[in-house]
Chains A and B, each alone.
Chain A
Amino acid sequence: MSEPLFEVTDLQVSFRGRSGPVNAVNGLSYTVMPGQVLGVVGESGSGKSVSSMGLLGLIRDRGATVTGSARFQGRELIGMPDRELRSVRGREIAMVFQDPMTSLTPVYTVGWHIAEQIRAHESISKKAARHRAIELLAEVGIPDPARRVDAYPHEFSGGMRQRAVIAMALACDPALLIADEPTTALDVTTQAQILDLMLRLRETHGSSIMVITHDMGVVSEIADRVLVMYGGRAVEAGTCREVFHTPHHPYTRGLLASVPRIGGEKLHRLPTIPGAPIASSERPTGCAFAPRCAERHDACTMQPLLTGDGHLSACWLTAPEVPA
């Protein structure tokens, strides 16, 4: 097995709340291997976006603290001075965000954005940067890139804009691309095209990808490994196949059951997970999912650990030893 590209251990992100600190991410650990696609799934509020933002110093809230370890190509990101971290952001680790409508500064052309990305990390002329921008736009499938490079974001459709954002993210050939809900704001056909594009670009640019989403469909289409998050913790992790075919955690099972299936038995109602995701400030002391879990029992008042061999799960049902 080769060296992991990115190794996160015991990540904690907490915010200053009205009554003491609130943990948004609690003891999260995962690894991304070179060339791998990791899917991080969870409902809103599960801490999935906050964890990646925290790693890269993108949480500017003064009351936020990020602790733990995040080793990227042998360098520790947490505690790295902002100046050094800046050379990682965009250069080594690029990000694509959810809403392409708002993620580009409206007053600059698409080409300007891409050129800014390149020139932030490489010293090349404006002309060369523009040339690269046109190439990148062509690569992400934007028709007539030599003309569209001078178009403003509002002149692009949502799907086109997301393509442009991806072109920008890939401009410096990053080792890792973190895509935070990259397809949520798009319609279904465009979603499939964007996922397809990302997979294709993984080949050409040699980037690993981390996809953060609430959509099991997206994960099944793109991910090699899956990490399921609930209440700021990882509750299940494994290969895509393992997690989809033999889900261990009741929460994962709930997620999978609520995805409609083509060719499956006809259901009168799609099963849902009862209750709503809990706010990070009012998590119970034990398993965070317990209040909504149909299979909870006495052990669930204690926090289960993420255990297993390869296919991990944080649930007393699958734990090797259950506390008395």
Chain B
Amino acid sequence: MTEQTQAVENSSPSSGPSIIRIITGIFGHFLVKRFLFFLFVVWLASTVIFIIPRLSGQDPVKEKLLLEAQRGGAMQTGLDAMAKHYQKRFGLDQPIWIQYSNFLNDLAHLNLGVSIAFFPRTVNDIVFESLIWTLGLMGTVTLLAFVLGTLAGAILGWPRRPGWIQYVFMPLLTLAAIPQYLLAMILIFIFAFKLGWLPLFGGYAAGTLPELSFAFFIDVIKHAILPAFAILFSVVGFWAIGMRGMMINMQGEDYMIQADAKGLKGSRIFMRYAVRNALLPQVTGLALVLGTIVTGQVLVERVFSYPGIGDILFQAIRLSDFFVIRGIVIVIILGIAGATFLLDVLYPLLDPRIKVGKS
């Protein structure tokens, strides 16, 4: 960016065209382009989310209120207030473009609406409370899986590895073919039900309240081990398979032969020549599978009743709490789009062949 703007300033002293060129330069800039695409994804996704309920011709709020009225449960008391609240909140009698702009405006302020099932609580409250659990678990696991899987794949794709490694890692790779939530069930059965080493479900021991103490921290770790491993195993396999393929493709390359001919140490060729180059497509892969990892985790959380957004999503579906479901979908899409944007921004740092600023 700096190089480009400098070049622009040097070449054109006259102010008129240079401003246009700076503007086109900015819009042609890699980062700006990527950011615009990020906004585009978010906008399109929210539009789809806005349109879907209108297409089906059903009103989730009315449906829910009707359902509750039929059940005649404890919800009866809040019905009037709720109905009024929604009428005012969404201006349902207003034309559709005003509803649409209201919706976008709310989103821009990260206002996800109000829960139907837990009426006075906002969706923001519910979602962000559980998001901490999900992000904590997922962040650790994804990072760990990326490192471990890439390393395993690199070793597997390396022709000069010891022979026994294949027999250790190959069975691990087949785990990539097993859905995470099934692995979760198997792990629960073995380590929680049969052996009783780890807790069966939840994010912390039932009856305790989240607090900042060492004992609670240990408890949280204990509860996180099984869900973490359920996700870790299958994701590790994914990375290892991709990396192995890249390493095999790398073998015939000229620079590999040259490094070999120079008499470099095997470890140096491995790390600096093979792994360094095979790593790049892996990073792109991370952006592609992020969605799968998130949805996989949502289901693992469901199996473990882990207090993350997966469990909230299940509860919301059970209670047909449309706004919480919508809120979770929006948050996940925002998260994935944001992470992809970040990866794209970081990519040029890893790959010097890509020049930032060139369109």
Instruction: Say whether A and B bind each other.
Output: no
Residues of chain B touching chain A, judged by Cβ–Cβ distance below 8 Å, are none
Instruction: List residues of chain A with CB under 8 Å of any chain B CB.
Output: none
